[in-house]
Structure 1
Amino acid sequence: MTHALRSVETPTDLDLTPSDRILRTHLPDREAAPGMSVREADVSLRLDGGGNGLLDTTHFDTVRFPPPPWIDAAMQAAVADGSLAYTPYRGAPEVLDSLAPRISDFLGSPVTSANLALTPGTQGALFTTLSSLVNEGDLVLLADPDYLFCERILQFLGARIERIPLTFDGDEPSLDLDLVEELAAQEPVLLMFSHPNNPTGAVFPERVIRRVAELSNERGFLVMVDELYSRLVYGDTVFPHLRAQPGMADRSITLLGPSKTESMSGFRIGVVVAPTEIVKSIEQCIAMTSLRAPAYSQRLLERWLVDDAEFLAERIGDLHRLREQSLAALRAVSGVRVQAQDGTAYLFVDVSAFGATDVEIAGALQREAGVIVSPGYQFGPSGTGHFRICFARDETEWAQALERMVVCLTGFATRAGLVG
């Protein structure tokens, strides 16, 4: 018996519209410039993470700041053992066991391997954790400004977002905790913020972190804190970890990883520290999205937080000098305001006095200075009128780039009547 092949007409009018979930991540309720959505602005500036041949200040220069020297041998040893290619979804048990005491010491709070999950970078940690906790319509309190993908992932999940302003009492940073207390009556499931703050680099004093913990315990919401940059703080700055506060081992989720300070972003490995039941849900999400964090990269965490005080001190010293160089150059431009903070390798530059949009300024810096910056609108409504730069760059190359940027920004200052 023969069977005729059935002809199938090729549709001529396919609907290729993205899902509603994706369209929500375009942030249609916010404009980056008059008549231009956040998504349209990102596309117009080619902010796709690839650099496009320009000097890209959205991330570390991993040539000038390479990973620790032990990386090569450790990675080669892992790859040479093919039996390590597959691990449980949450991570290799022996890696988790080795991490737990070191993370306990670092956070100042007891951690067991059951409190840990390894993810494809802290970006993977962010997505899998939020996917595990947030339902459609849930209220989430999010710092403003904060890491750009927090808002977009929450929109993808259909959360209701209330922004919590980052404030400064003199030079001391805080969150508007009175607003948090007010909104607690609406039963948020989660408060989330980065610490040190991304994009500003602000490190919150212990009294702020203590009050966050008190509100969480009193009002019944969880807190997720992204501490990716918590090793990158300057001088004698004291960094207070949220998990170390009373009651917060059971109420907090902490994101950690070696991506930035140790320049290991390319290895795509992040760590979630959370209550055991939350870790179980995160593991389910990891299984569906990526199966596991890169298995060979997991082995690198066996050396993370081990005997690297000299490496860390040298790196922070180099970054401090670059920070001072950047501040001196940018502050020489009339109308530019930039306040140094105690953490990260970022500066959040206030150019609101120019009267131009973030898109105009970021676009001009690309065309005239050959430099990609992160426009302020990406980080939340209060970020408008700013841009973020990462100054972790080759010193000579960065000095030349700063000169070009100063020329470009001075042009804006002149047109705004800020130059006599």
Structure 2
Amino acid sequence: MPLRSAESARLRRTHLPERASLIGTSVRDADLSLRLDGAGHGLLDTTHFDTVRFPPPAWALPTFGAAAEDGAQAYTAYRGNDEVRRVCAASVSALLGVEVDPGRHLAMSTGTQGGLFSTLSALVDDGDVVALADPEYLFVERMLRFLGAEVVRVPMVDSPDGPQLDLEALGALSGSRGIRLLLSSNPNNPTGAVYTPATVAGIARLAVRDDFLVVVDQLYCRLVYDEAVFTHLAAQPGMFERTVTMLGGSKTESLSGYRVGVVVAGAAVIDAIEQVMAMSCLRAPAYAQHVMTRWLVDDHDFVNDRVLELKAIQKSTVQALLAVPGLRVEPGAGTAYLWPDVSSLGISDVEVARVLQAEAGVVVSPGYQFGPSGAGHFRICYAREEVTWDEALDRMVAALTRVAGSRG
């Protein structure tokens, strides 16, 4: 008698088998075929920041070490250490432009990823309609499918300020179907687009009008270029109690290895998130929490310098990729990602990822991971050591040029 499948039905939903109409297989099987498991497998992995070239601030490790020397710091409240939350609430209040109460409005999470899962688990019921930007961070739809939500994608539309969430489509959806919440990243991952003040105000207007929550991942809100204006949704009229803001230092400040983030929301939402955290992880890593007392406080010059360095690498990366005939790429106003469009090369994003691994020794994130609109795109993180990255770009350009020539 054959063994029953080890995977639950809810886990199998996260494989997104319906995406086969676009890529020929499920998202899970495509990931497996490309060995996209986060390990890199000896290739240059552009799915994340190079934390050797771009290390954390000098104060990160000593702050962690000082906390680790005190065994009394090992256990905290489920929502985080009291003193850490006090300091973070003050700095986050200044960042967002709203008053954040450390006891009621803030929880330390196991990175932004853990914060997202805890938040969605606390807020989403089976069958809830959830609006999700398209494209959007690769794991969000999988989380929502795991929770049994009905995911409806809201497209991005082109504008002089880069891709923006389609407010007309969102308004039609929220007005006709009713939605539990909208989830989007700002700056957008993967496109790097920063939502304009008008877009953020439009989201707020619709959320108030149609009574839905907004979960906004602002992990890259400090990594914006050319004096781009960043508008915080939580500070819009009527939005603090309707907004869940995900923050952290894992990317701009390279604190990803410390696995700690911050969730900011109304008191009732934080209470709900705390219950999920208590069941799933008890608390964010207790010693690592203390690193966040220096985040937003002692890293302003550090972040300014990093933004300048990444802007220079962005410019050279775009110039290099534009040598590929037919490839289209626009620099984003934020993040350290580029979202090249290879659709005119006559090759799928799955094939592009496979070619770049085989011929250039580079791992990229194929567009299918980020939603239906990702077909024909791939995402790269250009936060890399410059000499090695320039050499990798030469190999990538050669591989993609060969493909373009063979399909021409």
TM-score for both structures, normalised by structure 1: 0.95
Structure 1 position 37 matched with structure 2 position 42: no
Structure 1 gaps of 5+ residues are: 1-11
1:23 to 8, 12, 26: 12
Q: CA deviation at 1:117?
A: 0.7
| Bigger mean CA offset, 74-83 vs 13-22 | 13-22
Distance in 1 of aligned mates of 2:95 and 2:141: 28
Q: Which entry has the higher C-alpha Rg, 1 or 2?
A: 1
- TM superposition outliers: structure 1 runs of 4+ over 4 Å: none
1:301 to 285, 289, 292: 292
Structure 2 gaps of 5+ residues are: none
2:37 to 48, 51, 55: 48
Structure 1 position 127 matched with structure 2 position 117: yes
- Pairing of 1:147-162 with structure 2 (within 5 A): 147-162=137-152
Q: CA deviation at 1:13?
A: 3.7
User: Which residue does the alignment assign to 1:256?
Assistant: 247
Q: CA deviation at 1:35?
A: 3.1
User: Which residue does the alignment assign to 1:169?
Assistant: 159
Contact preservation (8 Å) 1:32, 1:41: no
1:394 to 385, 392, 396: 385
TM-score for both structures, normalised by structure 2: 0.98
Structure-2 change in CA distance of 1:411 and 1:262 (3 Å): same
CA displacement, residues 286-343 of structure 1 (integer Å, 9 cap, x when unaligned): 0111111000000111111113221111111110110011000001110100011110
Describe the SS at the equivalent of 1:261.
coil
Structure 1 position 61 matched with structure 2 position 64: no
| Bigger mean CA offset, 193-202 vs 307-316 | 307-316
Contact preservation (8 Å) 1:32, 1:38: no
Structure 1 position 348 matched with structure 2 position 324: no
Counterpart of 2:48, as a letter, is H
Q: CA RMSD in A?
A: 1.1
Q: CA deviation at 1:232?
A: 0.3
- Pairing of 1:8-407 with structure 2 (within 5 A): 13-31=2-20, 34-113=23-102, 114-184=104-174, 185-407=176-398
Counterpart of 1:279, as a letter, is I
Contact preservation (8 Å) 1:88, 1:292: yes
Contact preservation (8 Å) 1:140, 1:192: yes
Distance in 1 of aligned mates of 2:157 and 2:375: 15
Q: CA deviation at 1:33?
A: 5.5
Identity of aligned residues (%): 54
Distance in 1 of aligned mates of 2:23 and 2:376: 13
Distance in 1 of aligned mates of 2:128 and 2:173: 13
Distance in 2 of aligned mates of 1:190 and 1:309: 33
Distance in 2 of aligned mates of 1:74 and 1:168: 43
Contact preservation (8 Å) 2:23, 2:350: no
Corresponding pairs, count:
406
Distance in 2 of aligned mates of 1:61 and 1:302: 24
CA displacement, residues 93-149 of structure 1 (integer Å, 9 cap, x when unaligned): 111111111101001111111100111100001100000000000000000000011
Q: CA deviation at 1:249?
A: 0.7
| Bigger mean CA offset, 168-177 vs 276-285 | 168-177
Describe the SS at the equivalent of 1:67.
coil
Distance in 2 of aligned mates of 1:401 and 1:169: 31
Distance in 2 of aligned mates of 1:357 and 1:165: 20
